């Protein structure tokens, strides 16, 4: 047994050592440093959006101990991702792991570089699931939860497998009380969008709303307790063109009940831009249906 544990210990230490060159320190907020992942040899760095509190004066601490200036390429709060461009080249990106081999119970390492050296914490994959949307509407390609301890400064750092290969980016901002990892397919998709446009495309209706309770008869008919009262409609907006007016109560969008503003935001992802989406609303105590052609938020 002691030989098995010794070999496992050595293998994990080797995994950390192999990943070391692909992990950087991100200085984008006061006092506490955070972690970033080397995404390209030319200096592209991925990190968590919530640790980049400023758009200018960013610094990246490289694995060799040097510090270089960095610029913000773009950020996507809905997936808590940001892309930086460090003034460096010849960096070593992490090798992507085989996501098909990842299963619940597999050992994983969360790595961080909040200071000059890499730190690590060990855990297991505690849950895997289908794709999901964050409360701000960001599309995450796979639900990936671990039991690793997220120490201060670990957000933006990598989750790696026992071979030191990249599984995803760790963040403490997407789930309360759980350690969630943004998987590599999401990292690639969002990074491409931020490099191309500086932002991830989001849908736009042109309404302001507030949550309201529905009358008892509508609660029974719609099987939901709340809706979104339309308090303003922008001129020539998608909502205006679809016939929505102030005083209507939106209760369904894209065949999904909407009972809070976050519900609506979650349904306005980039993939619905340009499409006609069915919506239900209450006017004068009656439920009506319309189609709204979703525009892109400028």
Q: Are 136 and 76 in contact (CB under 8 A)?
A: no
Scanning the structure block, which residue is given the tokens 């008892």? Answer: 216
**Number of Cα atoms under 13 Å in the Cβ half of residue 194:** 27
Scanning the structure block, which residue is given the tokens 């938020």? Answer: 297
Instruction: Select from 101, 108, 187 the least CA-distant residue to 147.
Output: 108
Catalytic-residue membership of 271:
no
What count of other Cβ atoms lies within 10 Å of the Cβ of residue 57?
Answer: 10
DSSP-assigned letter for residue 94: P
Q: Are 84 and 71 in contact (CB under 8 A)?
A: yes
User: Which two three-digit tokens encode residue 275?
Assistant: 């499409």
Catalytic-residue membership of 261:
no
3-state secondary structure 219-271: HHHHCCCEEEEEEEECCCCHHHHCCCCCCCEEEEECCEECCCHHHHHHCCCHH
Q: Are 230 and 247 in contact (CB under 8 A)?
A: yes
How far is 115 from 90, CA to CA, in rounded Å?
22
Q: Are 33 and 153 in contact (CB under 8 A)?
A: yes
What count of other Cβ atoms lies within 10 Å of the Cβ of residue 283?
Answer: 14
Scanning the structure block, which residue is given the tokens 């060799």? Answer: 64
One-character DSSP codes across 121-166: EEEEEEEEE--EE-TT--EESSEEEE-----TT-TTPEEE-TTS-E
Which of 80, 141, 248, 263 is an active site residue?
80
Catalytic-residue membership of 80:
yes
Which of 76, 78, 141, 155 is an active site residue?
155
Residues 6+ positions from 177 with CB-CB distance below 8 Å: none
Which of 50, 76, 78, 252 is an active site residue?
50
The residues assigned a catalytic role are: 50, 80, 155
């Amino acid at each position: 047994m002691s030989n098995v544990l010794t070999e496992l210990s050595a293998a994990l230490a080797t995994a950390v050592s192999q990943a070391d060159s692909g992990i950087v320190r991100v200085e984008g907020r006061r006092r506490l440093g955070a972690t970033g992942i080397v995404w390209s040899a030319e200096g592209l760095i991925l990190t968590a959006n919530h640790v980049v509190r400023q758009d200018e004066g960013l610094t990246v601490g490289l694995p060799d101990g040097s510090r270089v200036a960095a610029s913000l390429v773009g950020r996507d709060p809905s997936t808590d991702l940001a892309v930086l461009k460090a003034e460096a080249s010849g960096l070593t990106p992490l090798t992507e792991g085989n996501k098909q081999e990842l299963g619940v119970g597999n050992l994983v390492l969360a790595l961080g570089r909040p200071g000059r050296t890499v730190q690590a914490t060990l855990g297991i994959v505690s849950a895997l699931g289908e794709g999901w949307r964050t409360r701000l509407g960001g599309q995450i390609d796979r639900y990936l939860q671990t039991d690793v301890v997220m120490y201060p400064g670990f957000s933006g750092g990598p989750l790696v497998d026992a071979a030191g290969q990249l599984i995803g980016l760790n963040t403490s901002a997407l789930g309360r009380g759980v350690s969630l990892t943004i998987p590599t397919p999401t990292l690639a998709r969002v990074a491409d969008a931020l490099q191309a446009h500086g932002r991830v495309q989001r849908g736009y209706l042109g309404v302001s709303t507030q949550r309201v309770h529905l009358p008892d008869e509508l609660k029974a008919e719609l099987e939901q307790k709340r809706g979104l009262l339309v308090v303003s409609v922008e001129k020539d907006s998608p909502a205006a063109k679809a016939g929505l007016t102030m005083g209507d109560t939106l209760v369904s969008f894209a065949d999904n009940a909407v009972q809070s503003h976050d519900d609506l935001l979650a349904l306005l992802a980039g993939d619905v831009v340009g499409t006609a989406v069915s919506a239900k609303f209450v006017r004068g105590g009656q439920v009506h249906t319309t189609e709204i052609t979703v525009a892109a938020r400028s």
